[in-house]
Amino acid sequence: MTLTESNAFVSMASSADQDYPPSNILDPSEKVFWMTTGLYPQEFIITFKEPIEFRQIHFVTIKRFVMFTTSNPEPKNFETILEKTLPNNENNLQILDHTLDRSIDVRHFKCVVLAGYDSFSSVHSLKFDSENSRMGKKY
């Protein structure tokens, strides 16, 4: 499922560059991206208009990050679902496909980029294998 198909939107980002805006995270193409603009940590929150259930994540970024989710209507009381450090790939994209131990209901998805292999980091795409929790619709 693409984030656009799920009616998701970026509800918060710690930095923004007009050439590489946070909304680029929603684009399924790995050719556009969100670029951080300085010191770490950097973070963003994706909000879904309707709760979704997901178990698998496809994430293209670099170095070290933590992912959180919450099913609360407001973006608070997040639960950690994944913390990962990816190996240095000589400035090539780091691709993570991760399957969670269980399916989880998500209203807000938060990612904190803790470190990068350079002064700036980028997030190129984020995809979920999921379905709409309320409608039972598979994406």
Predicted structure pTM score: 0.85
Domain span at residue 59? 8-132
Q: What's the rounded mean pLDDT across residues 11-26?
A: 93
Instruction: Give the number of residues written for the chain.
Output: 139
CATH number at residue 42: 2.60.120.260
pLDDT of 69 reads 92
Domain membership of residue 1 (yes or no) is no
CA dist., res. 129 & res. 14, Å (int) = 26
97-120 confidence digits (pLDDT tens): 888 888 888 999 999 999 988 888
pLDDT of 2 reads 62
Domain membership of residue 137 (yes or no) is no
Domain membership of residue 138 (yes or no) is no
Residues facing residue 128 across a β-bridge: 57
